[in-house]
Amino acid sequence: MTKKQKKNLTIMLKDLNKNNVIHIPVLKKEVIEYLNPQPNTDFIDCTFGGGGHSFSILEKISPKGKVMAIDWTPELANRVKAKRLIVACGNFADLEKIAKQNNFSNVSGILFDLGMSSWHLEESLKGFSFQKDEPLDMRYSPENPFTARKILNWYSEKDIEKILREYGEERFSKKIARKIIEKRKEKSIETTFQLREIIKMSTPGWYHRRKIHFATKTFQALRIAVNSEIDNLKKALEESLTILKQNGRLVLISFHSLEDRIVKNFLREKAKEGIVSILTKKPIIPSSEEIKLNHRSRSAKLRVAVKI
């Protein structure tokens, strides 16, 4: 990269940060180290979000290398334009289809950062955060017909309990589900604060005094259910290996045990089949310094494999 190109990219990144386009990318140094992007190679970022990882990769693969980034949320996919960056609005479960539409094949690396973008919590107004009083939507895409409100007001007690238990690993899933059914008979559950209060009433006092907020697991479970995150991840992982070239790197960052289990088991299975070689015997986690700078990185786990 020439001095002029570096200067232009630095200016572009500063402008994007100034406008809150880029959030703080988790494990950025480690992602770049393991992806090992070289000049004039192509990469896919399956979870564009704020764009921090994508632009870090772009800097390394100049002058001709390209990044195809995917995001299911139109507001995120459509607000950034840059040379050599192709942003596709879509679900990464359709990875093969999206890659084909954009003439991407035999790529050198694919990144999955499964954490939710800061934008969804702070600006989307879709009820992802229990800290703000917002409608219970939780959809990444407006094309998705399901919402958290529909689950809470239409699903059976048994189905709600199952969602909270399996997707949130919530120990009080039965009590919370029972209270949801009880309260929705009085009036429809419409907002995040209504739900937060129901969870509080359903759980013991000591549960409210932990470091992890008592509503965290319920909100996580509903978000996963609304967006079919587990099924989408499993499909995308399989498709990623058809696009990745030999010796290409697959880098995955997960943020809760359910995701990490899926990623770990997938890589182990493919390693047994002789399709990949796992480069991280144990997951890479953020340093204490990174956690201080970005508290949301605290639960991140990075796993890496190379296609044989």
Same domain, 28 and 96: yes
Asked whether residue 7 carries a pLDDT value surpassing 60, the answer given is: no
CATH number of the domain that 49 lies in? 3.40.50.150
What is the value of pTM for the model shown?
A: 0.90
Secondary structure, 3-state, 239-271: HHHHHEEEEEEEEEEECCHHHHHHHHHHHHHHH
Name the domain count of the chain.
2
CA distance 221 to 169: 8
> Domain of 158?
145-226
Query: For 238-292, how does the pLDDT look when each residue is reduced to its tens digit (9 = 90+)?
Result: 999 999 999 999 999 999 999 999 999 999 999 999 999 999 999 999 999 999 9
CA distance 221 to 165: 8
Name the average pLDDT for the chain.
Answer: 93
Asked whether residue 19 carries a pLDDT value surpassing 80, the answer given is: no
Q: Are 206 and 255 within 8 A, CB to CB?
A: no
Query: For 195-251, how does the pLDDT look when each residue is reduced to its tens digit (9 = 90+)?
Result: 999 999 999 999 999 999 999 999 999 999 999 999 999 999 999 999 999 999 999
Q: Is residue 133 part of a domain?
A: no
Asked whether residue 4 carries a pLDDT value surpassing 90, the answer given is: no
- Local structure of 185: helix, strand or coil: helix
Same domain, 100 and 245: yes
Q: Are 69 and 53 within 8 A, CB to CB?
A: no
Same domain, 34 and 80: yes
Same domain, 8 and 51: yes
Last residue of a domain, which of 226, 259, 288? 226
User: Which residues have C-beta within 8 Å of that of residue 160, sequence separation ≥ 6?
Assistant: 151, 152, 176, 177, 180, 181
Mean pLDDT in residue range 30-58:
97
Same domain, 18 and 164: no
CATH number of the domain that 194 lies in? 1.10.150.170
Last residue of a domain, which of 168, 196, 226? 226
Q: Is residue 125 part of a domain?
A: no
